[in-house]
Amino acid sequence: MDDGLPRLDLVGHPALRATHGKTLEFTVDPDVTERATCVLGVAGRVTGGAVAGPVRITIDAGGAVATVDAIANPDWAGGTAVVRRGTDRRPDTFATEATAAAADLPRELVARIIDPDTPITVRCSRLPRRPDGRAGLVLAWTAPGAPAAPRLAAELVAADAVVAEDADAARVAGERTIRAADAVTGLLDGELGRVLVVATAGLPGASVTAALEAPEKVAVEVAGLPAALVAAAGSPVRGPVQLAEGRSRIDAVLRSAPPEVTLVVTVAAADLPRLLERAADRRGTRTATVVDPAAGGVVRWGPVGRLRAGRTSGELVCALDGAADTVLGPELAAFVRGLLAAGVSARTAAHALAQVPGWSRRSAYDAVLGLTGD
For residue 4, the model assigns a pLDDT of 77
Whether pLDDT at 174 is above 70 = yes
Residues 237 and 213 in one domain: no
For residue 373, the model assigns a pLDDT of 63
Distance CA 205, CA 202 (A): 9
Residues 27 and 63 in one domain: yes
Quickly state the pLDDT bin for 323 (edges 50, 70, 90): confident
CATH code of residue 197: 3.40.1010.10
For residue 333, the model assigns a pLDDT of 83
- Strand 241-243 and strand 53-61: the pairing is unpaired
Residues 85 and 186 in one domain: no
Q: Do 301 and 355 touch, CB atoms closer than 8 A?
A: no
Residues 278 and 204 in one domain: no
Average pLDDT over residues 134-155: 94
Residues 219 and 242 in one domain: no
Report the number of distinct structural domains present in the chain: 4
pLDDT tens-place string over residues 24-64: 999 999 999 999 999 999 999 999 977 999 999 999 999 99
Domain membership of residue 109 (yes or no) is yes
Residues 110 and 13 in one domain: yes
Quickly state the pLDDT bin for 365 (edges 50, 70, 90): confident
Residues 20 and 103 in one domain: yes
Domain membership of residue 174 (yes or no) is yes
Residues 140 and 199 in one domain: yes
Average pLDDT, rounded, for the chain: 91
Domain membership of residue 52 (yes or no) is yes
Domain membership of residue 111 (yes or no) is yes
Average pLDDT over residues 346-365: 80
CATH code of residue 301: 3.30.950.10
Residues 99 and 52 in one domain: yes
Q: How far is CA 168 from CA 88, 164, 200, in A?
A: 32, 8, 6
Domain boundary among 192, 224, 256: 224
For residue 1, the model assigns a pLDDT of 41
List of residues 6+ apart from 281 with CB closer than 8 A: none
Quick check: pTM over 0.75?
yes
Domain membership of residue 2 (yes or no) is no
Quickly state the pLDDT bin for 327 (edges 50, 70, 90): low
Residues 219 and 230 in one domain: no
For residue 353, the model assigns a pLDDT of 86
pLDDT tens-place string over residues 89-112: 999 999 999 999 999 999 999 999
Domain membership of residue 63 (yes or no) is yes
Residue 280 half-sphere exposure, CB side, CA atoms within 13 Å?
A: 16
Q: Among candidates 296, 149, 271, which has minimal Cα distance to 219?
A: 296
Domain that holds residue 56: 7-126
Residues 352 and 264 in one domain: no
Domain boundary among 77, 109, 126: 126
CATH code of residue 122: 2.60.120.630
Whether pLDDT at 6 is above 80 = yes
Residues 202 and 269 in one domain: no
Domain boundary among 100, 126, 152: 126
Average pLDDT over residues 69-92: 96
Domain membership of residue 1 (yes or no) is no
Q: How far is CA 104 from the centre of its chain?
A: 25
List of residues 6+ apart from 305 with CB closer than 8 A: 276, 280
pLDDT tens-place string over residues 175-196: 889 999 999 999 999 999 999 9
Rg value, the chain, Cα: 23
